[in-house]
Amino acid sequence: MNLIEAVAVVSGALYVLLAGRNMFSSWWLGLINIFCYTYIFYLNRLYADVLLQFFYFLATIYGMYIWKGRCKNISYLSFKELIISILFSVLLSIGIYILNSNIHIWYPTIFKFKADFPIIDSFIAGFSIVATILIANKKIDSWIWFVIIDIVASIVYNNKELYLTSTLFILYAFLAFLSIKQWKKTQTNAS
């Protein structure tokens, strides 16, 4: 698994770096990352993260469409959009938690073991889904969300002894912070 995790780490780091620079090619690296992490998270019983990878696949296709075909401008969420995004993230996290804590009961042939860290894993998944939609729609706020999500996720992955992945998520948090600055600069230059 170390080779697969290494490929996931490299493709993931390059994905975030290029997305932070507003580059379309980032999405291709995201696909490689998704396939690797689907396998890794399944083996490590982080089932909400497995489900998150399926969402990321769909979001990647959506992001490719939005970024390629419909050039959206970088912007901030309005206050109303922010409140709706937070509420939706909380409700989504609760729904994912219900699924995540029962998936081994409902689908025992696929998920043979109880999920590890179901509450925090569900939070990571729920808020990541919304943050990814925000990135696809070029909202600067998405990077702020990912700084927090990535720090929390790095702690979980460290506890699962996924040390490369844990380190990657610390790098993601740093790159997300840099992306805030880059997108603000791009937004200012476009004005």
Task: Indicate whether 82 pLDDT > 70.
Answer: yes
pTM of the complete model = 0.83
Structure tokens at 23: 């580059």
Q: DSSP alpha helices (H): ranges in the chain? A: 2-20, 26-43, 47-69, 79-106, 118-136, 141-159, 163-190
Q: What is the pLDDT of residues 105-152, one digit of tens each?
A: 998 998 888 888 999 999 999 999 999 889 888 899 999 999 999 999
The percent of residues in the chain predicted with pLDDT above 70, rounded, is 96
DSSP, collapsed to helix, strand or coil, labels residue 139 as strand
The percent of residues in the chain predicted with pLDDT above 90, rounded, is 58
Structure tokens at 21: 């620079």
DSSP, collapsed to helix, strand or coil, labels residue 75 as strand
Residue 37 and residue 56: Cα distance in Å, rounded? 11
pLDDT of residue 62: 85
Q: At what angle do helices 118-136 and 47-69 cross, to 10 degrees?
A: 0
pLDDT of residue 188: 74
Q: What is the pLDDT of residues 59-80, one digit of tens each?
A: 889 888 887 766 578 889 999 9
Q: What is the pLDDT of residues 22-62, one digit of tens each?
A: 888 888 999 999 999 999 999 998 888 898 899 999 988 98
Exposed / middle / buried, residue 101 (Cβ in 10 Å: 0-12, 13-18, 19+): middle
**Residues ≥6 apart with Cβ < 8 Å to 95:** 126
Task: Indicate whether 1 pLDDT > 60.
Answer: no
Q: What would the mean pLDDT of 88-102 be, rounded to a whole number?
A: 95
pLDDT of residue 71: 59
Q: What is the pLDDT of residues 151-181, one digit of tens each?
A: 999 999 999 998 988 998 999 999 999 989 9
Dihedral sign for Cα 97, 135, 161, 29, please.
Answer: positive
Enter the DSSP assignment of 34: H
DSSP, collapsed to helix, strand or coil, labels residue 45 as coil
